[in-house]
Amino acid sequence: QKEVEQNSGPLSVPEGAIASLNCTYSDRGSQSFFWYRQYSGKSPELIMSIYSNGDKEDGRFTAQLNKASQYVSLLIRDSQPSDSATYLCAVNRSGGFKTIFGAGTRLFVKA
Amino acid sequence: GAVVSQHPSRVICKSGTSVKIECRSLDFQATTMFWYRQFPKQSLMLMATSNEGSKATYEQGVEKDKFLINHASLTLSTLTVTSAHPEDSSFYICSASLGARVSETQYFGPGTRLLVL
């Protein structure tokens, strides 16, 4: 079992729709969770961080964390073609400073 | 704020040569810097973690004598790929964090694309 698992996609949504990206992790003691966006050929850029159960909203983005289910998700409202990228879920494991990245989900937003 | 730069952005070298990549935090002091490698269509793989003034901590399977890391100051870390071979061709990305807490966000540099011929 991978430490951080994501569906590789591609996930295709029409412009204006809600894109839902999911991630599960194996270390129950994980403390910090991040979503990064990576455009092709570029390095990752931070979208959201979340540390406690529940929802965290920032503009069109909402991160959801459920530690009991070891599940974190990212919702993108009013998806735009410019949102087309690979979205990486990252988890800081307990007891250390190491961040584990998922393989990423490719998102395509069709105009 | 929290800008990280890398240099060079792209390098092509002959097999057997060494390549140095610089990672700088431009507007903050980075307690910890990380070096990642990413092969096409794969996720980021952590190579090593470096703290200013101390030896880097390498991940399992990463040869410390081949990938030399120097974190000489709070704003600069370097990765030297020694005796590079074609299989070392990859996208190398550094990141830096403001502090040492587990919750600290990492800020990524733009990456260096290495091609070894």
CB contact under 8 A, B93 and A43: yes
Q: What are the tokens at A50?
A: 């979340």
Q: What are the tokens at A47?
A: 């979208």
CB contact under 8 A, A97 and B110: no
For the segment B78-117, what is each residue's pLDDT rounded down to a tens digit? Answer: 999 999 999 999 999 999 987 655 456 788 999 999 999 9
DSSP letter at A40 equals T
Chain B 24-43, residues with CB within 8 Å of chain A CB atoms: 32, 34, 42-43
Mean pLDDT by runs of 10 across the 111 residues of chain A is 88 97 93 93 92 95 96 97 96 74 95 93
Mutate to test the interface with B, among A6, A25, A38, A43 (most CBs of B within 10 A): A43
- pLDDT at position B72 over 60: yes
CB contact under 8 A, A43 and B109: yes
Q: How far is CA A50 from CA A54, A55, A66, B9, in A?
A: 9, 8, 11, 31
Q: Would an 8 Å CB–CB cutoff place B71 in contact with chain A? A: no
CB contact under 8 A, B43 and A103: yes
Give B51 to chain A, closest Cα distance, Å.
12
Beta strands B106-108 and A54-58, pairing class: unpaired
For the segment B23-61, what is each residue's pLDDT rounded down to a tens digit? Answer: 999 988 888 899 999 998 888 899 999 887 788 999 999
